[in-house]
Chains A and B, each alone.
Chain A
Amino acid sequence: MSEPYSSPSSDVMIQFDRVVKKFGDHVVLRELDFSVKPGEFVTLIGPSGSGKTTILRLLMTLETADDGTIQVGGEYLSHMERGGKLVPADERHLRNQRKRIGMVFQQFNLFPNMKVLQNVTEAPVRALGLSKAEAEQRARELLEMVGLSDKIDAHPMQLSGGQQQRVAIARALAMRPQVLLLDEVTSALDPELVAGVLAVLKEIARTTDITFLCVTHEMQFAQDVSDRVMMFDQGQVIEDAPPEQLFTQPAHERTRSFLHAVIDRAV
């Protein structure tokens, strides 16, 4: 990249700087700018197919941007500085960046070949170098927090969707991330299982200083936990406000019609 870039600052946890993402000719992110402060809970809303998942996947380094830069905790995510220039990051740099970021997926993605406890201990042992005893101790605490102490020896296949998602949350937390990405984590669940998962997330948001970037259609949940809500459409953030303001008096017509559609669907 030839343009000068802004110097990383430490009062910003996530910083998108003119990020462009295309799939073929289809431009999903158009010079997207936004930032999230440390400890903030930010919810992303927007129409289906608008690119919310893409934003989270870029942060998890599951996709690479076509242009622009992303910084997390003041460090470039998918770029490295080489002789005053930014070059694409190598695997080692990416692995260092991923240490600080966790993600919970819509489809849980627990490892079926590992029992519940091992799902939570495997990564801390492999990637953080924790001893097995330390990792197990921590996994037991986390599984107790998500209310699954009695499922430690179960296979993921033997759990309900809601239980699987709570294990997935414990598994992500076991890596002690600074940033946690949540992509429609209750969308695949039966309605009666949603509340349990949301309660766990609320508790984590309240008791930790983790920075959250959350995509959800659970508007009540978003209103309860978010510091800010960003309405995202056509590759740009079109409205960014505290939840009480965005949900009650949206400034943009598109936000208003989107909220109408979502709330109509809910009743």
Chain B
Amino acid sequence: MSSGLMSYVWEGLGNTLLLTVFGALLGLVFAFIAGLGRSSERTWVRGIAMVYTEIFRGFPSLVLLFALIFIVPTFGYQLNPLFAGILALALNIGAYAAEVVRGAVKAVPPGQIEAAIALNFTPWQRLRKVVLPQAVVAMIPPFTNNLIELLKATSLVSLVYISDLTFSAQLIRASTGETALVFFGLLVGYGVIALFFTAIMKLLERMAARSLGRTVPSGLFGRKEVAA
């Protein structure tokens, strides 16, 4: 492949990683706000959080992206396309991950919160020092799924001319005519990136488990946790 075509690959890879990483970070913020909001004692907070998760889980990411790029400008703003891509992906994945946050917080045994009350922790300290450190451990495996979903969804941005990996593949295919080879290479590329993110998440999972005095068997596909 010529160095001109290789530069497409690097640009595409860079943008795909950028969309995935920043989409995930922003999505995480939405997920925690909405997930904790849905666990709130206040009805109106729960209401807003529920509306967000229900609505944005229902929107296809692609339609959301089109909306951000083509509707928002009618209100006088022009979003940077890459930022619009990150925002659309984050809003969508955040709504899914919010359910993960809510479920993990709910799964912390009530006895833990009661012990924290008995030790006179403030409501904030109960959340920060007792509930979240335990809930986060349970969030990581489902977050891994969310992250891979997000990675796959990033390919949609090629439809609004953001030069991600899929868009670059289209350019290379157009200039070389090697359709089968290029798409095969693209599949391999996404597969390798997915393995890379899964390995990182696996590492986080083991670190989190260790913070609770548990160990996770090594190996990329080891799932079951056992007592130390």
Contact = CB atoms under 8 A, between A and B. Distances in A.
Given A111-B112, A155-B228, A123 B213 contact: no
B117 A126 contact: no
Contacts of B112: 109, 111
Q: Is the interface of B mostly helix, strand, loop or mixed?
A: helix
A141 interface: no
A112 B213 contact: yes
B120 A95 contact: yes
B203 interface: no
Contact of A109 (B111, B133, B228): B111
B129 to A, nearest CB: 7
- Complex A-B, nearest 10 residue pairs according to Cβ-Cβ distance, in ascending order: A155-B213, A123-B119, A109-B115, A113-B133, A127-B120, A157-B213, A109-B111, A103-B118, A98-B120, A112-B212
Contacts of A102: 118-119
Nearest to A110: B115
Interface string A178-213: 000000000000000000000000000000000000
Chain B's interface size range is 20 to 34
Contact of A158 (B109, B117, B134, B213): B213
A62 B117 contact: yes
Interface string A37-62: 00000000000000000000000111
B120 A111 contact: no
B130 A156 contact: no
A158 B121 CA distance: 25
B115 A111 contact: yes
Interface of B: 109, 111-112, 114-123, 125, 129-130, 133-134, 211-214, 227-228
B130 A98 contact: no
A122 B115 CA distance: 12
B213 A175 contact: no
Nearest to A155: B213
B117 A98 contact: yes
Interface in A87-128: 91, 95, 98-99, 101-103, 105, 107, 109-113, 115, 122-123, 126-127
Residue of B109, B123, B134, B212 with most partner-chain A CB within 10 A: B212
Nearest to B118: A103
B111 A155 contact: no
A107 B112 CA distance: 10
Contact of A61 (B115, B117, B121, B122): B117
Contacts of B214: 157
B92 to A, nearest CB: 31
17 contacts: A91-B123, A95-B120, A98-B118, A98-B120, A99-B120, A111-B130, A112-B134, A112-B212, A115-B213, A126-B121, A126-B125, A127-B119, A127-B122, A155-B228, A157-B213, A172-B118, A172-B119
Given A105-B111, A109-B109, A127-B121, 19 more contacts: A62-B114, A62-B118, A95-B120, A95-B122, A101-B118, A102-B118, A109-B111, A111-B129, A112-B212, A112-B213, A113-B130, A113-B212, A122-B129, A127-B120, A157-B212, A157-B214, A157-B228, A158-B213, A171-B119
